């Protein structure tokens, strides 16, 4: 049983709605409408990023909704390619201008390495970037800061020097891909784990075994996958261009039984 207005509490006491609306791969010309739909359906948490190239339209959707700013939780991300102090401050300004906001709720380092160099060592640069993130946080223009795609090693690198610990780690997380080591470490250090691609960017949705289980609860596989995240204490960020999908994902008035959660937590990775 999860409502869109239910919240988790971050380590700095900030409330964050338990379900976020993802906007990756929503083309700019569809993003304003998609965000407006989501807000109309009751979502109060929107996840975007400078690299998604739709921040302006996401911002426009938020404006058009006429919902009070303080009632919406908005996250954006520093490009993974940005690995210097100065560029971090600059990119943050670009994001704020795109979204047309006075403050952001959550700002994340998108990844520990530029996408083209996945796994490369950027330890020193990530520490420098984290200093800039702390400065932005101190300016009060963002209410919380965190990271994304960081493994235990990457997190430790930041924790070794952080004055302010990351409050969130956003990782790829879905049934069969629960990243237990990263999740447990993040949570042990007070970070909320956010599940990106909770439907495995839709690849999970054809799994027959999971479809059977969803049927037992009278829900869609998408609903099952989203509720699974919440029952594990993780914050799902489902994305949907289609309003019917966004509406379906918001209906979470069921509870997955403990034995089924155990089965799902031991589910063999298929993707």
Name the closest residue to ligand NAP (Cβ).
22
Decide if 43 contacts 73 (C-beta within 8 A). Answer: no
- For 81, list phi and psi in degrees, rounded to 5: -80, -15
Q: DSSP assignment, residue 177?
A: B
Q: Please tell me whether residue 51 adopts helix, strand or coil conformation.
A: helix
The answer to whether residue 143 forms part of the interface with ligand NAP (CB under 6 A) is: no
Rounded distance, CA 4 to CA 43, Å? Answer: 6
Q: Are 39 and 219 in contact (CB under 8 A)?
A: no
Q: At its nearest, how many Å lie between ligand NAP and the CB of residue 37?
A: 10
Distances (CA, A) of 229 to 172, 175, 192, 222: 11, 8, 12, 11
22 touches ligand NAP by CB under 6 A = yes
Site track 58-97 with ligand NAP (rule: CB under 6 A), x = hit: ----------------------------------------
Q: Which of residues 36-65 bind ligand NAP (CB under 6 A)?
A: 47
CB of 23 to ligand NAP, least distance (A): 5
Tell me whether residue 52 is one of the annotated catalytic residues: yes
Nearest to ligand NAP of 113, 137 (CB atom): 113
Choose which of 7, 8, 15, 24 interacts with ligand NAP (CB under 6 A).
24
Task: Work out whether 25 is an interface residue with ligand NAP (CB under 6 A).
Answer: yes
**196, 213, 231, 250: residue in contact with ligand NAP (rule CB under 6 A):** 196
Question: What is the per-residue DSSP string for 57-87?
Answer: HHHHHHHHHT--GGG-EEEEEE-TT--SHHH
Among 2, 4, 18, 23, binds ligand NAP (CB under 6 A): 23
245 is in an annotated binding site: no
Distances (CA, A) of 127 to 31, 33, 55, 56, 103: 33, 38, 26, 29, 23
* Residues identified as active-site: 52
Provide the annotated binding site for substrate. 110
Residues that bind ligand NAP (CB under 6 A): 22-25, 47, 110, 148-149, 170, 196-202, 205, 220, 222, 237-242, 245, 248-249
């Amino acid at each position: 049983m999860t409502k869109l207005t239910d919240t988790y509490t971050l380590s700095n006491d900030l409330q964050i709605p338990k379900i976020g609306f993802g906007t990756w791969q929503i083309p700019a010309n569809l993003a304003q409408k998609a965000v407006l739909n989501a807000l109309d359906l009751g979502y109060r948490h929107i996840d975007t990023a400078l690299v998604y190239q739709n921040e302006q339209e996401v911002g426009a959707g938020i404006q058009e909704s006429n919902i009070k700013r303080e009632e919406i939780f908005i996250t954006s991300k520093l490009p993974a390619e940005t690995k210097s102090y100065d560029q971090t401050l600059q990119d943050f300004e670009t994001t704020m201008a795109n979204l047309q906001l006075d403050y952001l709720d959550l700002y994340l380092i998108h990844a520990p390495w530029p996408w083209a160099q996945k796994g490369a060592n950027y330890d020193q640069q990530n520490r420098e970037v984290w200093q800039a993130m702390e400065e932005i946080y101190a300016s009060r223009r963002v209410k919380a800061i965190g990271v994304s795609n960081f493994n235990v090693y990457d997190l430790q690198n930041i924790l070794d020097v952080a004055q302010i610990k990351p409050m969130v780690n956003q990782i790829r997380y879905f049934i069969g891909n629960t990243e237990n080591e990263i999740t447990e470490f993040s949570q042990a250090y007070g970070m909320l784990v956010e599940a990106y691609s909770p439907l495995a960017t839709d690849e999970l949705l054809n799994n027959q075994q999971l479809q059977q289980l969803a049927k037992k609860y009278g829900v869609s596989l998408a609903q099952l996958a989203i509720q699974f995240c919440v029952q594990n204490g993780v914050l799902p960020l489902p994305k949907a261009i289609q309003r019917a999908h966004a509406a379906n994902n918001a209906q979470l008035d069921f509870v997955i039984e403990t034995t089924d959660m155990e089965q799902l937590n031991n589910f063999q990775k298929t993707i």
